[in-house]
Structure 1
Amino acid sequence: MSSKKGKAQEELGSIILPVVTEMGYELVDIQYGREGSKWILRIFIDHPEGIGLDDCEMVSRQVEKRLDEEDPIPHSYVLEVSSPGIERPLKLPHDYERFKGRLATIKTYGPVDGRRKFTGTLQGLKDDQVIITENGKNISIPLEMVSRAHLTIEF
């Protein structure tokens, strides 16, 4: 059973995703919830050539127009559109292939090899297993065990 918040995000995603993809961008994530006294709808977009302020403004205008037509949110809210940043979340299975060779941090719902957090180089996805190399050793993490994953900056 999905939560009320998850259901709202799913409904918003079904409205927002076509708008973003028609414009040539990738919808990375949607966050919707209350922060203090305000409701915030955050949309994270990406593009192979990067995301600038103009991109965010264009997408914001188009998404706002579609949300006004569909009217899925019964109260006032603030719409924010931005890039996912350098520590971009890895949400979809193809993200693990797309960012192969990059440093990533993966957290799991339960222990995998006795641990719940891994940081290493992504090797991709094979048979629903995320492969990550940590300290020279390949580790296979079942995709369904991944609670959160994101790219990590090397210092």
Structure 2
Amino acid sequence: MSSQVIQTTEELVKPILTNKNLELVDVEYVKEGKNWFLRVYIDKAGGVDITECGEVSEQLSEKLDEVDPIKEAYFLEVSSPGVERPLKTKEDFASNKDQNVYIKLYEPIDGEKEYQGILKAFSNDVATVEYKVKTQKKQVEIPFEKIAKARRAVSL
């Protein structure tokens, strides 16, 4: 059911975002405590502001009321993904070259299932990440299909 809600929400929000030159980053439908939350993360170059989030929320809320894909009560939240934005698509990887990233894998590569470092390249569906082991720089090539989760990471 959760995947159906996410799919329907994506279909409803995409035309709204296209009209505003915004990008859909992610949709989550999760239960926290007793409450359900439908979270829609949007972005654009330079980031989104609260006015844009409010406008998308209002228009999406109207569409959701018309289609009514969710039977239980829920809270709709539309926001920016923040600095640790998830990387879900190949396009996300291609457009985040030279950014600090965190990648979790389905299965280990070189004995590790998690890498954090600089995304040096993404080509032929392979992410090249430069990371440090103590003071030594190393690189790992990670095939896209082995990535379980990925996001931009804040470097300190």
1:97·1:123 contact (CA, 8 Å) conserved in 2?
Answer: no
Aligned to 1:109: 106
Q: How does 1:1-155 map to 2 (within 5 A)?
A: 4-135=1-132, 136-155=137-156
**What is the rounded CA distance, in whole Å, between the counterparts of 1:118 and 1:140 in structure 2?**
11
1:21·1:27 contact (CA, 8 Å) conserved in 2?
Answer: no
Aligned amino acid, residue 55 of structure 2: M
CA displacement, residues 64-97 of structure 1 (integer Å, 9 cap, x when unaligned): 1111122111222110011001111111111111
CA displacement, residues 126-146 of structure 1 (integer Å, 9 cap, x when unaligned): 111111111332211111111
What is the percent sequence identity of the aligned residues? 36
TM-score (norm 2): 0.91
**What is the rounded CA distance, in whole Å, between the counterparts of 1:66 and 1:22 in structure 2?**
15
**What is the rounded CA distance, in whole Å, between the counterparts of 2:141 and 2:34 in structure 1?**
43
Structure 2 CA distance for partners of 1:15 and 1:108, relative to 1, 3 Å: same
Return the offset for 1:106.
0.4
Q: Which runs of 4+ in 1 moved over 4 A?
A: none
**What is the rounded CA distance, in whole Å, between the counterparts of 1:150 and 1:10 in structure 2?**
21
**What is the rounded CA distance, in whole Å, between the counterparts of 2:30 and 2:151 in structure 1?**
21
Helix, strand or coil at the partner of 2:5: helix
TM-score (norm 1): 0.91
Across the two proteins, how many residue pairs are aligned to each other? 152
Aligned amino acid, residue 53 of structure 1: I
**What is the rounded CA distance, in whole Å, between the counterparts of 2:61 and 2:94 in structure 1?**
32
Helix, strand or coil at the partner of 1:15: helix
Gaps of 5+ in 2: none
Aligned amino acid, residue 13 of structure 2: I
